[in-house]
């Protein structure tokens, strides 16, 4: 089950298609959908979580809390809509494309993809791109 929660004035376009897409990506990787909660917020909200739980005094676009058990994918994914907008400008892409990239990025972490090393980042980006293509076919 995927739920979308909003701590700011923002609404995800077509929650149903986005949920279907996420589930397809999870199943394509050989995992099963458990419970994933997306919480859309602003920089201040996410910064507070970053300080409280990770002791990082930085702005970020996403923080994910992983509750995956074996192949059952679940967790809470907090996304700063402000950061996503800024990143979209910086990377010369649409807000929607960057938002979907971040949405699936959190799920990829639940499926054991990492992004600490250059090699891991390259694999993560490749998977994001692969899954964004699936979204375009839904």
Sorted by sequence, the CB contacts under 8 Å of residue 50 that are 6+ apart come out as 56, 57, 58, 59, 60, 63
Compute the CA torsion angle 23, 102, 123, 56 (nearest 10 deg): -130
pLDDT digits (tens, 9 = 90+) for 90-123: 999 999 999 999 999 999 999 999 999 999 999 9
* Residue 109 marked ligand-binding: yes
Average predicted confidence (pLDDT) for the chain: 95
* Residue 47 marked ligand-binding: no
Q: What is the pTM of this model?
A: 0.93
Residue-level pLDDT at 54: 84
Domain CATH number, residue 85 = 3.40.390.30
Q: How many domains does the chain contain in total?
A: 1
Cα–Cα distance between 121 and 127 in angstroms, integer?
A: 10
pLDDT category, 124, cuts 50, 70, 90? very high
**Structural domain of residue 107, as residue ranges?**
2-136
């Amino acid at each position: 089950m995927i739920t979308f929660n909003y701590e700011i004035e923002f609404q995800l376009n077509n929650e149903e298609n986005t949920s279907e897409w996420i589930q397809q990506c999870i199943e394509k990787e050989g995992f099963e959908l458990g419970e994933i909660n997306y919480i859309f917020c602003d920089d201040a909200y996410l910064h507070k979580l970053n300080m409280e739980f990770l002791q990082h005094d930085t702005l970020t676009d996403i923080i994910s809390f992983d509750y995956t058990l074996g192949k059952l994918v679940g967790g809470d994914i907090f996304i700063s809509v402000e950061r996503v907008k800024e990143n979209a400008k910086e990377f010369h892409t649409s807000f929607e494309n960057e938002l979907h990239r971040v949405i699936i990025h959190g799920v990829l972490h639940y499926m054991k993809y990492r992004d600490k090393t250059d090699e891991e980042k390259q694999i993560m980006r490749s998977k994001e791109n692969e899954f964004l293509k699936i979204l375009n076919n839904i």
